[in-house]
């Protein structure tokens, strides 16, 4: 009887020891699994952070946040034109499209136009000045939205660049001077005009910077130039525009 009891006690002891080892093994396995999950989560988190950084970098490279003024505008466009080589834009109106090629040897004025286009400035601006058989001028409107955009982009003027010898032939795109007292003919960066006069408006040569030409859509320019205007040379019906980069 005592012998059987001893065998029972020994068997029970082995059973309890076995259960303990199994539990410890399960506990150890659970810890290892938890560690793997945490590591995987950490790796995924780092990966997500890197992806976010890449996305942010991409956004930052395409949308430059700076308030331009007369001191920083030229240094800004000096760098901007090197990284933004686009030189063809399309002006969309209810009369049709006007395609324009911008001249690369007027770098600040080309870069300025590309910058404003990418910022969405020209959307819902108008051809606000029409002089029959002379020019159509655009880039402004009486909408609060336009004034707000100008405030967010900045207040600055661009120096004239008339040394290239361009002539104000029919179809060229030029930049008007600011309306303020302006003996040096500094250009108003938000506006532009297209010469509609045939063969050209050569009395303007040397006073305004020509920075592009119409390559398609002069028929649209002619239609806009025929619009009825008030005594301020403003079309009686708004001619809204949008501008997009095509190349």
- Which pLDDT band, with edges at 50, 70 and 90, does 123 fall under? very high
- Give the least confident one: 147-161, 178-192, 210-224: 178-192
- State the pTM of this model: 0.74
- Which pLDDT band, with edges at 50, 70 and 90, does 49 fall under? low
- Which pLDDT band, with edges at 50, 70 and 90, does 241 fall under? very high
- Which pLDDT band, with edges at 50, 70 and 90, does 182 fall under? confident
Q: What is the mean pLDDT of residues 108-118?
A: 98
- CA within 13 Å, CB half, 200: 15
Q: What is the mean pLDDT of the chain?
A: 82
Q: Residues 102-129, buried b or exposed e (16+ Cβ, 10 A)?
A: bbeebbbbbbbbbbbbbeebbbebbbbb
How high is the pLDDT of residue 235?
98
Tokens 């003919």 correspond to: 185
Q: What is the mean pLDDT of residues 151-175?
A: 95
Q: Is 102:113 a contact under the CB 8 Å cutoff?
A: yes
Cis bond upstream, residue 199 (ω within 30): yes
């Amino acid at each position: 009887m005592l012998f059987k009891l001893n065998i029972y006690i020994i068997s029970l002891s082995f059973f309890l020891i076995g259960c303990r080892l199994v539990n410890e093994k399960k506990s150890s396995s659970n810890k290892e699994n938890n560690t793997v999950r945490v590591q995987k989560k950490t790796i995924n988190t780092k990966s997500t952070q890197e992806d976010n950084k890449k996305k942010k970098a991409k956004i930052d490279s395409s949308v430059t946040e700076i308030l331009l003024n007369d001191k920083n505008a030229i240094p800004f466009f000096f760098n901007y034109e090197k990284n933004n080589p686009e030189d063809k834009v399309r002006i969309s109106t209810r009369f049709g499209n006007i395609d324009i090629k911008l001249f690369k040897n007027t770098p600040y004025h080309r870069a300025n136009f590309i910058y404003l286009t990418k910022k969405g400035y020209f959307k819902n601006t108008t051809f606000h000045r029409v002089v029959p058989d002379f020019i159509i001028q655009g880039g402004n409107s009486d909408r609060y939205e336009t004034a707000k955009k100008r405030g967010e982009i900045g207040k600055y003027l661009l120096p004239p660049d008339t040394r290239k010898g361009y002539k104000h032939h029919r179809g060229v795109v030029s930049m008007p001077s600011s309306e303020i007292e302006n003996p040096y003919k500094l250009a108003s960066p938000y506006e532009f005009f297209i010469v509609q006069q045939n063969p050209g408006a050569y009395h303007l040569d040397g006073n305004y910077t020509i920075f592009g030409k119409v390559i398609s859509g002069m028929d649209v320019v002619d239609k806009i130039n025929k619009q009825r205007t008030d005594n301020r040379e403003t079309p009686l019906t708004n001619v809204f525009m949008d501008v997009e980069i095509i190349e």
